[in-house]
Amino acid sequence: MPLRSIVTLLFILLSGAAQAATILVWGDSLSAGYGLKAGEAWPTLLQTRLTREGFRHTVVNDSVSGETSSGGRSRLPDALARHKPDILILELGANDGLRGLKPDLLADNLAAMIASAKKAGARVLLVGMRMPPNYGPAYTQRFEATFADIARTHKVGFVPFLFDGFADRPELFQADGIHPAAEAQPMILDTVWRGLRTMLKG
């Protein structure tokens, strides 16, 4: 191969690498793949879809089972410095709700994480969650509204409910009734994708 062709090829490859972007998934067990086999969780399916549709993004899934919004807030600055994401998918809060923590605390933590991500140059897609009705209407309504309020106030992308379309289908959950089964992961991906795709095109 002529030297000029080699130089041209290297330039193209290096240019493509420079344009690659990182999507950081920052969540709890619902994104970490709890109870699933390798490759079944929705963040892995997201990487497959991005590649299939021609997006040059790399998905980094740094989700931790059992994580609360307070834990995620404390870990986030180091992750932002390490991964330098272009997009942060923020999926935290479910464990706050299951523990009955105050929505005001959740709101404060979500706002702080969004501010940190923006300061680091990342755009944010916030993913909402809902609590079962046995937590009482006052708490469940305030909990759900927290995500929408934060997304609106801080002007970030928003997916209202991670379990949209299957929350009332027990056959799509694992035996604990909390974590979605492998069959539900493509549905979660479709839900997240609806909020993410406009950010990708942007």
| Active site amino acids | 29, 176, 179
Burial label for 26, CB within 10 Å (0-12, 13-18, 19+), is: buried
Coil, helix or strand for 124? strand
Distances in Å between the alpha carbon of 173 and those of 40, 45, 63, 66, 167? 14, 18, 19, 17, 9
Coil, helix or strand for 117? helix
In angstroms, rounded to a whole number, what is the distance separating the alpha carbons of residues 162 and 189? 9
Coil, helix or strand for 89? strand
Nearest by Cα to 114 from 153, 71, 65, 58:
153
Q: Which residues are paired to 22 by β-bridges? A: 58
